[in-house]
Amino acid sequence: MFQRLTLALLAILSLAIHGCRPAAPTPHVEDVRVNLHGLTMVDPYAWMRDRDSPEVLAHLDAENRFTDRMLAPQRGLEQRLINEFESHLDADDESVPHRIGDFIYSYVFEADDEHERFVRRPVDEVDGEPELVLDVNRLAKDQAYVALDSYQPSLDGHWIAYAVDVVGDLTLGLYVAPVGETDRAINLAEDISSFAWAADGKTIYYTTRNDAGRSDKLFRRTLDLPKSRPLEANYSIRADEPELVIEESDTAFDINVQRSRSDAYMLVNITSYNAAETRLIPAMDADAQPIELRPRREGVMDFVDHQRSHPRRLTGGRFLILSDDAGRDFRLLSLPDTVISKPTETRFENPQEVLPHVAGRLLESVEIFELGVVVIYVENARQMLGRLNLEQGRLDPVDMGEVSYMITSGENHRYESDAFRFSYESLATPTRTCELDLLSGEIRVLKERDVPGYDPETLVQERIEATASDGTKIPITLVRHRDHRNGPKPLLLEVYGAYGISNWPWWDETRLSLLNRGMGFAIAHVRGGAEGGRGWHDEAKFLKKETTFTDTIACVNALLEQGITSRETLVLTGASAGGLTVGAVLNMEPGICQAALIGVPFVDVINTMLDESLPLTTQEFFEWGDPKDKPYFEVMRRYSPYDNIRAVRYPDVLVYSSYNDGQVMYWEPAKYVARLRATRTDDRLTLLSMNMSGGHQGPSGRSGAMREIARQYAFTLFSVGLTH
């Protein structure tokens, strides 16, 4: 049995050899008082919000330098981890091709690429040399950060539209270029949130964000695009002035645009946390106005798509509507597409119920094809895939073969296809690109991610349950190396639990570096997500938010009671709202784990939710509540991590974040670390790693991501003594 040395002890020993432990940053205290509901709240570090202040920048630099010095003992391990990550990568990788129009598209990674390159081949020359469509590496040249949000070729295949973030704050620029010629791109719009080509091949619809980060406007622009090729050397793309189509004044709602699966309509989804409507615009008419299928109703969410008529079906064209008007987990309705010619008030009369609402069976998405419909749904805390028999109202489930996994809809651009493309993965199964035959129900595996050096027989995935304080069973998905399953072992436990977002088991080859060293990995599917349907979310938001934290504690206790890990070998991790969960749990039970790895954390809950000038705040009232209302304030005051740090002993804590994060502002983790370090009663690690050029998802590019993960994993391994 080897001796376990904590990272803090190793750091102290190393620095003692070289002289002394460096002094931690000690930012000055400048109390700002807020009086609310008869109470005075004191914020000693509110000044850190002054983004461009030399003092703030100097403080963040001091935090980074301090973290670098304190983590110096793990640098050798970090490099070994990076080498291992690279050894598990397929240096030259290409995705499974998919068809759009007359071309087969795919993306490729070559050994030295930081980003994808998108290429295509004509459908009748699939073995020929690929034509470059979009090279993200070229976009990233001379940029500290680049993230491609999405790209779309026009239906005629001559042009591409793409949205890219070059800061990390989710500010997307929309560009249009000839295929493969981004040097001739024009910037069509800034700060967009979604876009889609119309079916005429020359009109683009896009939504833009306002200063509060809300998508409140839908525009369309018609481009002057020649059909002949090659283009003249001096040709430049020209566009009409943007036309405002919809402006949404309700601050709780966002607008999103996409083309229907049938290509017949533009679908304009206008959504909040508890209401949604879809407006329709004929996709071939650049002057058409939006059509309401059913007027918006408070507390009702409708999501619409369209299926064209076909001679092999008995019915004509129809709209399929996911609606929660009869229950939280949605039912599926059908209306003939001829209803759009009726007056607005009669369009939604007598819809056919295709699938009834079933509590606990959450209908997540409906994928429509010419000859069939596929439904992704949640049942018994698992994602399910089902073929829908529309005429009989029957959902035929597909057996996926594992106890827990994640399904993601894939590249399904061809409405006429007889197969549904999707990806499948789990904690032990590398990502597979699969097809479900719409007629036979057969699943074909088109490609499994190649992971050099990985033997699937070495990992064992399990699903266990914890019992919450109210008796609810909370699922935990766990993966361990087959040779490291006896007795309490080190474990990294991930938690999220917010917004009704399910945290399904997903593959990541970098985890092999933990698993091969004897450290397990687990996901606690706590309430606040939607793993148990939307009721799973309802039971842990607003005034019930603390349920997420007590569920997390129950999951830890279950892992301890079953002998899977111990408090001395457990590391808790969570990012964004998951960082809130970890921060709240540490305040409730500071001795719950050996270390905590907290990413881009939403930890300054009350101050953020009081500031309606920040992006997303007003919309997030539907998740957390408004602290100006006393009942919500009282609950937030009990759990807000920044406001509940106590003078007790805490585990080692590494917080990582990004200066340009547009979702959780940099000052939240900076303030949290300063207060935690100043308040705790021990000298264990309290570290902040602030990426000065990344975004909410961290740095861009493969090598930057690997360096950041290597630092986090090395901290994790050192914390539990797995240094060899």
Q: What is the band of 225 on the pLDDT scale with cuts at 50, 70, 90? A: confident
Pairing of strands 254-259, 238-239: unpaired
pLDDT in tens, 61-80: 999 999 999 999 999 999 99
Determine the average pLDDT of the residues in 658-679: 96
- CA 38 centroid distance within chain: 38
Lowest mean pLDDT among 238-242, 315-319, 419-423, 571-575: 315-319
Confirm whether 661 is a catalytic residue: yes
Q: Write out the E strands in 308-409.
A: 318-323, 331-336, 352-355, 362-368, 373-379, 382-389, 394-398, 406-409
Q: Where are the alpha helices (DSSP H) in 133-187?
A: 136-139
The catalytic position among 113, 135, 329, 661 is 661
Let me know if 455 is a catalytic residue: no
The pLDDT score that the predictor gives to residue 17 is: 35
The distance in angstroms from the start CA to the end CA of the chain is 13
Query: Do 77 and 723 contact (CB within 8 A), yes or no?
Result: yes
Q: Is the pLDDT of residue 20 over 90?
A: no
For 272-280, what is the mean pLDDT? 95
Answer yes or no: is pLDDT of 463 > 70: yes
Rounded percentage of the chain residues whose pLDDT exceeds 90 = 84
Residue 420 CB neighbours (<10 A): 24
The pLDDT score that the predictor gives to residue 427 is 98
Q: Which of 220-229, 453-462, 471-480, 699-708 has the weakest average pLDDT?
A: 220-229
Q: At residue 228, does pLDDT exceed 50?
A: yes
Residue 391 is encoded by which pair of tokens?
Answer: 């005429």
User: Which amino acid, residue 483?
Assistant: D
Distance CA 375, CA 142 (A): 43
3-class SS of residue 670: helix
- Arithmetic mean of pLDDT, 163-182: 93
Residue 437 banded pLDDT, cuts 50, 70, 90: very high
For the segment 372-393, what is each residue's pLDDT rounded down to a tens digit? 999 999 999 999 999 998 777 8
Q: How far is CA 39 from CA 34, 36, 630, 647, 679, in A?
A: 8, 5, 11, 21, 21
State the amino acid at position 504 in one-letter form.
Answer: W
CB 389 within 8 A of CB 400: no
Which pair of tokens denotes residue 77? 């391990």
pLDDT at 694: 84
Q: Which of 115, 657, 696, 700 is catalytic?
A: 696
The pLDDT value recorded for residue 1 is 36
d(CA 701, CA 704): 6
Handedness of CA 27, 32, 37, 38 (dihedral sign): positive
Q: What is the pLDDT of residue 198?
A: 95
pLDDT level of residue 3 (50, 70, 90 thresholds): very low
Give dist(CA 390, CA 136) in Å, integer. Answer: 41
What pLDDT, on a 0 to 100 scale, did the predictor assign at position 6? 55
What pLDDT was estimated at residue 276?
97
CA 55 to chain centre: 33
Whether 395 and 355 have beta carbons less than 8 Å apart is answered as: yes
pLDDT 10s digits, 402-414: 889 999 999 999 9
> What is residue 315's predicted lDDT score, i.e. its pLDDT?
59
Over residues 41-58, the mean pLDDT reads 97
* Exposure string over 151-174, b if 16+ CB within 10 A, otherwise e: bbbbbebbbbbbbbbbbbbbbbbb
Q: What is the pLDDT of residue 391?
A: 75
Q: How many CA atoms lie within 13 A of 344 on its CB side?
A: 8
Q: In what order do the strands lie in the sheet with 595-599?
A: 459-467, 473-481, 520-524, 491-495, 570-575, 595-599, 652-658, 686-691
Measured CA to CA, the distance from residue 683 to residue 672 in angstroms comes to 16
Confidence of residue 8 (pLDDT cuts 50, 70, 90): low
Kindly give the interhelix angle for 7-17 and 54-70, rounded to the nearest 10 degrees: 90
Query: CA of 269: how far to CAs of 150, 254, 258, 303, in Å?
Result: 18, 8, 8, 7
Distances (CA, A) of 583 to 603, 653, 668: 7, 10, 12
Q: What is the pLDDT of residues 300-322, one digit of tens each?
A: 999 999 999 875 555 579 999 99
In the set 576, 640, 658, 700, the catalytic residue is 576
Instruction: Give the mean model confidence (pLDDT) for residues 24-40.
Output: 96
Query: Does 537 qualify as catalytic in the annotation?
Result: no
Quote the percentage of the chain above a pLDDT of 70.
96
The pLDDT score that the predictor gives to residue 666 is: 97
Q: Which residue has the higher pLDDT, 547 or 723?
A: 547
User: With bands split at pLDDT 50, 70 and 90, how would you rate the model's confidence at 660?
Assistant: very high
- The pLDDT value given to residue 2: 35
Taking alpha carbons only, the member of 144, 115, 163 closest to residue 694 is 144
Give the pLDDT of residue 431: 97
Please tell me the pTM assigned to this model.
0.95
For range 199-211, the mean pLDDT: 94
Mean of per-residue pLDDT scores for the chain: 93
Strand segments (E) across 592-708: 595-599, 652-658, 686-691
Across residues 102-117, what is the average pLDDT? 92
Task: Go through 678-689 and write b for each residue having 16 or more CB atoms within 10 A of its CB, e for each that does not.
Answer: bebeeebbbbbb
Confidence (pLDDT) at 487: 86
349-373 burial by CB neighbour count: b if 16+ within 10 A, else e? eebeebbebbebbbbbebbbbbebb
